[in-house]
């Protein structure tokens, strides 16, 4: 027998006869273990008193745990018991959390006992925002000064000219903000140095691409092309294409070389192996530049180690807004263990890096330009209305402060606050949520997924790259739920680098999180962000046994050493997906 949940397909074990088949025995089991975790307090037994009493006197009612961790510093992310010494795991879930003596008393002859040697044990980390598996279609040529500020125009053109002398296939390269902000006609500039060779530049952060005439010709893109939903083609004063593609138009990579399940499976498989070595147990994949069918097939090939939540891309091959939800419906039967599909995710505006996020104030070095929205008010209203009519979670990339104002205003017009709070809309990045809209964002129940690398963007030529304030600690103080992700592209990114940046915030140290706040955002915050906070994200009885034993105590080590942190033991649903021999060596 199987039953469907938002976590995927759950198959009860034969051992359900011990008393897990019904809701009341399930609650009883959890409450017995809660008693252990709080030193015998009976006040938590609010229901099923008779069943609990039976369980307390019946030694057969409670199986010994399959694994216990003792002599640990356990950070639980559970307000009811923030720290403990030991954890017991059985039947894919946390059985008990408490002192060494309490947890050891539950062990049986077949229990594996691991001595953590005083190391920090945390809930498994959640990578709450990442783009994986879509690289440039050919090996990129080298460009200087990436990521910031990247090459200037002369350096980029010289590199292309040299490469075009010996190549007839695509010359590709990543570019930085200097070229993205350079307003020249890049189609003509590239044609001058590579008239017969296709050239494709892509901003390393996405959102904008550049192609020369030969590239446009090979792709079959001509002057008559219509702007896609959520994006546009750059044009000169005469209306001719200037080589730039923005947002939903900049799907150049899949036009040249579409993603295949086989190649994507290799990328995702390698990524999950490295994530396991960092203690990451949940991954929120932003599914740009590929279909859900390809991604789910790739994950099936890779055999997921972690729990994956795939956020469908709203504008992928979409002509009308309802088609984004139809894409989710098409894969409804393509279910995989540990994999969920949510979304769609919509890119509502750009970023300040290429100066297309919609800002209240004009960009400092571009008078009169405030950026732009990717959707009209009518289109955004339709997105919001359809999101409320469907069960999946809505995710919105919203960066500019003016764009944030527009989204919040339309949300209030479309539905009452209580409905939005229940929907739990994800705001990817949230760079434009300033202190003046904290109260409104909190009332609407927005969840912010912030990327600490955004808080470390350096000034260029003495000018701040971002033209508005970005907050982090302010979200926590305002009661706005916060999760952290890397916003990494192509490959995964070290979560402990981002944790370091979150507790430093180089651009504004007053916005730095405490170590506990940052770790909470990376664990229970990530679970909350995907509406799974009743199932995982905390080390508490009844929650999924997703945890990591870290190589060093990220709550106390010098800040500069945080990126060197690894996991010595990573567990997902009670199964070890990575174990370092160092765990059992003297500590």
**Tens digit of each residue's pLDDT (9 = 90 or more) over 233-242:** 999 999 999 9
Which is more confidently placed, 453 or 41? Answer: 453
Output the pLDDT for position 46: 36
Output the pLDDT for position 35: 38
Mean pLDDT of 526-537: 98
pLDDT of residue 2 exceeding 80, the answer is no
pLDDT of residue 421 exceeding 50, the answer is yes
Question: How is residue 149 written in tokens?
Answer: 């500020």
Per-domain residue ranges for the chain? 3-123+576-584, 127-131+259-536, 153-256
Kindly report, residue by residue over 107-138, the tens digit of the pLDDT: 999 999 999 999 999 999 999 999 998 899 99
Confirm whether pTM is higher than 0.75.
yes
Kindly report, residue by residue over 429-438, the tens digit of the pLDDT: 999 999 999 9
Mean pLDDT of 336-362: 96
pLDDT band at 469 (very low <50, low <70, confident <90, very high): confident
Output the pLDDT for position 165: 96
Lowest mean pLDDT among 45-49, 110-114, 215-219, 513-517: 45-49
Residue with tokens 């550049």: 210
| Of 98, 95, 97, 120, nearest in space to 108 by CA | 95
Q: Are 341 and 310 in contact (CB under 8 A)?
A: yes
Q: Are 179 and 222 in contact (CB under 8 A)?
A: no
Give counts: helices (H), strands (E), the chain.
19, 25
Within 10 Å of residue 121's Cβ, how many Cβ atoms?
Answer: 26
Q: Are 564 and 273 in contact (CB under 8 A)?
A: no
| In the chain, % of residues over pLDDT 90 | 83
CA–CA dist 451, 412 (Å, integer) = 26
How far CA 312 is from CA of 196, 237, 326, 376, 500, in Å, comes to 37, 36, 11, 21, 30
Kindly report, residue by residue over 129-168, the tens digit of the pLDDT: 999 988 999 999 999 999 999 999 999 999 999 999 999 9
Task: Look at the alpha carbons of 313, 429, 513, 418 in this order and tell me if their dihedral is positive or negative.
Answer: negative
Three-state SS for 389-431 is: HCCCCCEEEECCHHHHHHHHHHHHHHCCHHHHHHHCCEEEECC
Burial of 478: CB neighbours in 10 Å, binned 0-12, 13-18, 19+: middle
End-to-end CA distance of the chain: 45
Residue with tokens 């057969």: 60
pLDDT band at 25 (very low <50, low <70, confident <90, very high): very low
Of the candidate CATH numbers 2.30.40.10, 2.40.110.10, 3.40.1190.20, 3.30.565.10, the domain formed by 3-123+576-584 belongs to: 2.30.40.10
CA–CA dist 258, 460 (Å, integer) = 35
pLDDT band at 585 (very low <50, low <70, confident <90, very high): low
pLDDT band at 62 (very low <50, low <70, confident <90, very high): low
State whether residue 93 is helix, strand or coil.
strand
Of the candidate CATH numbers 3.60.21.10, 3.40.50.2000, 3.20.20.140, 3.30.470.20, the domain formed by 127-131+259-536 belongs to: 3.20.20.140
Kindly report, residue by residue over 285-337, the tens digit of the pLDDT: 999 999 999 999 999 999 999 999 999 999 999 999 999 999 999 999 999 99
pLDDT band at 182 (very low <50, low <70, confident <90, very high): very high
Q: Which fold has domain 153-256?
A: Diaminopimelate Epimerase; Chain A, domain 1 (3.10.310)
């Amino acid at each position: 027998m199987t039953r469907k949940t938002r976590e995927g397909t759950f198959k009860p074990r034969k051992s359900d006869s011990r008393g897990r088949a019904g809701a009341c025995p399930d609650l009883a089991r959890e409450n017995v273990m809660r008693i252990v975790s709080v030193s015998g307090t009976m006040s938590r037994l609010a229901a099923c008193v008779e069943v609990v009493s039976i369980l307390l006197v019946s030694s057969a009612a409670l199986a010994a745990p399959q694994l216990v961790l003792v002599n640990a510093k356990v950070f639980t992310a559970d307000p009811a018991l923030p720290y403990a010494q030991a954890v017991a795991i059985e039947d894919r879930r946390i059985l008990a959390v408490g002192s060494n003596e309490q947890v050891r008393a539950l062990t049986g002859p077949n229990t594996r006992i691991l001595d953590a040697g005083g190391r920090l044990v945390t809930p498994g980390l959640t990578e709450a925002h990442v783009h994986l598996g879509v690289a440039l279609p050919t090996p990129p040529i080298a460009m200087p000064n990436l990521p910031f500020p990247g090459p200037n125009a002369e350096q980029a053109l010289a590199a292309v000219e040299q490469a075009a002398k010996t190549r007839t296939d695509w010359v590709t390269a990543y570019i930085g903000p200097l070229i993205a902000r350079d307003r020249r006609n890049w189609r003509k500039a590239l044609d001058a140095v590579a008239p017969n060779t296709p050239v494709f530049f892509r901003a390393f952060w996405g959102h904008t691409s550049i192609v020369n005439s030969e590239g446009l010709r090979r792709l079959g893109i001509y002057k008559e092309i219509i702007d896609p939903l959520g994006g546009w083609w750059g044009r000169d004063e005469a209306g001719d294409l200037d080589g730039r593609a923005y947002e939903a138009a900049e799907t150049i990579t899949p036009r040249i070389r579409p993603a295949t399940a086989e190649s994507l499976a290799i990328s995702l498989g390698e990524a999950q192996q490295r994530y396991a070595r960092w203690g990451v147990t949940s991954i929120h994949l932003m599914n740009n530049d590929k279909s859900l069918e390809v991604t789910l097939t790739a994950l099936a090939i890779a055999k997921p180690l972690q729990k994956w939540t795939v956020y469908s891309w709203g504008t992928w091959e979409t002509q009308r807004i309802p088609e984004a939800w139809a894409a989710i419906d098409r894969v409804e039967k393509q279910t995989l263990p540990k994999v969920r599909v949510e979304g769609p995710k919509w890119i509502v505006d750009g970023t300040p890096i290429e100066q297309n996020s919609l800002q209240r104030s004009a960009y400092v070095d571009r008078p009169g330009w405030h950026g732009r929205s990717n959707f009209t008010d009518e289109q955004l209203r339709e997105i919001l209305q359809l999101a409320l009519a469907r069960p999946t979670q809505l995710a919105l990339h919203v960066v500019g402060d003016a764009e944030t104002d527009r989204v919040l205003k339309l949300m209030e017009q479309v539905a009452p606050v209580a409905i939005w709070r229940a929907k739990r809309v994800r705001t990817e990045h949230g760079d434009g949520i300033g202190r003046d809209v904290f109260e409104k964002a909190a009332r609407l129940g927005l969840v912010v997924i912030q990327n600490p690398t955004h808080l470390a963007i350096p000034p260029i030529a003495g000018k701040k790259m971002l033209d508005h304030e970005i907050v982090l600690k302010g979200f926590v103080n305002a009661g706005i739920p916060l999760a952290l992700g890397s916003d990494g592209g192509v490959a995964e990114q070290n979560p402990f680098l981002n944790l370091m940046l979150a507790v430093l915030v180089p651009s504004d140290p007053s916005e730095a999180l405490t170590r506990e706040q940052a770790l909470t955002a990376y664990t229970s915050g990530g679970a909350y962000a995907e509406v799974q906070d009743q199932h995982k994200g905390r080390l508490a009885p009844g929650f999924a046994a997703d945890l990591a034993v870290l190589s060093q105590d990220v709550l106390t080590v010098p800040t500069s050493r945080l990126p060197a942190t690894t996991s010595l033991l990573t567990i997902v649903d009670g199964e070890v997906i990575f174990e370092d021999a160092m765990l059992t060596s003297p500590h």
